[in-house]
Amino acid sequence: MKLLYTILTTTLFSLAVFANPNTTTQSSPKKFIILGDSLTEGYGVAQSAAFPALLQKKVEQDKLNWKIISSGSSGSTSASGLQRIKWIAKSKPDMVLVLLGSNDGLRGLKPEETEKNLNDTVEWAKQNNIEVSLGQLHVPPNYGKDYEKKFSAVYAKVAAKNKIQLAPFLLDKVAGQKDLNLADGIHPNEKGHQIVADNLYPFVKKLISK
């Protein structure tokens, strides 16, 4: 009898929860996807040590019901942005941070091309009701002052045109620091990724806490 009573009680409670949409339950976390290249992917370090995973730890510590999802692909340029965000849209993200362009700069592509590609990506996201923001990426100083200036200006221009939030420079305090990068001098090591996460989190937290 005791067993039967337990089964009936559990069943009735389950039916009540199902029937009453106001019953308190833990909702699924919202999705914050970072669309990027090898910097986002965490080239050369474990995924758990890359900045998207470190951002997730901060989110959990602050008890925010969000999931930070890394969508980094090594070698990607801004030209891949439009097709990739169309693919990402299938997973119904709540927010997307676009972090593309570093490979454009390293390959010396025209800033105008990068600007067009980023605009296309952001505009498509907005047209499809995806909340999108943009991260800043720069080129090393050895590419020349003129190119460096034109390339860096692309991000502010795209953000202003589309009226979206612009994140701080991704590699602030990390770029050019030998002890914070891998031997290639381009990709952050574990210490570098920690600084990236620390720098980026206030921006991310502000977005997801609205």
The residues that are catalytic are 38, 184, 187
202 vs 51, 53, 97, 120, 190, CA distance in Å?
A: 13, 15, 14, 27, 20
Q: Are 70 and 107 in contact (CB under 8 A)?
A: no
Contacts of 121 (CB under 8 A, 6+ apart): 35, 78, 81, 82, 84, 85, 98, 100
Residue 59 contacts residue 171 (beta carbons within 8 Å): no
Tokens (6 digits) for 78:
């801004």
Of 43, 154, 28, 158, nearest in space to 93 by CA: 28
- Distance in angstroms (rounded) separating the CA atoms of residues 81 and 48: 25
Q: Contact 104/113 with Cβ under 8 angstroms?
A: yes
Strand residues in 65-157 grouped as ranges (E): 66-72, 95-99, 131-136
Give CA–CA dist 207/70, Å, rounded: 17
Q: Look-up: residue for tokens 């470190």?
A: 54
